[in-house]
Structure 1
Amino acid sequence: MSEQTPVSVVVVDDHAMFRRGVIAELGTAGVGAVDVLAEAADVDEAVAAVATYRPDVVLLDVHLPGGGGAEVMRRATAAGSAPGTRYLALSVSDAAEDVIGTIRGGARGYVTKTITGPELVAAIGRVAEGDAVFSPRLAGFVLDAFSGSIEVAAVDEDLDRLTEREREVMRLIARGYAYKEVAKELFISIKTVETHMSSVLRKLQLSSRHELTRWASDRRLL
Structure 2
Amino acid sequence: MKAILAITAAFSLAGAADAQSLYESRPVGVPQDINGNAQPSESLVGYSMFVIAPPPPKRLEVHDLVTIIVNETSRSTRTQSLETEKEYSSDVNFDAFLSLSDLVEGRLVSDEVSTDPLLEIDSSSEFAGEGEYERADRLTARIQAEVIDIKPNGVLVLEARTTIQTDEETQVFVLAGNCRSADVTEQNTVQSSQLHNLSIITRNEGEVRKSAKKGYIPRVLETVFSF
TM-score, length basis structure 1? 0.16
Q: Which has the higher contact order (CA 8 A, sep 6+)?
A: 2
Structure of larger gyration radius: 2
Greater share of strand residues, 1 or 2? 2
TM-score of the pair, normalised by structure 2: 0.16
Structure with a larger share of its residues in helix: 1
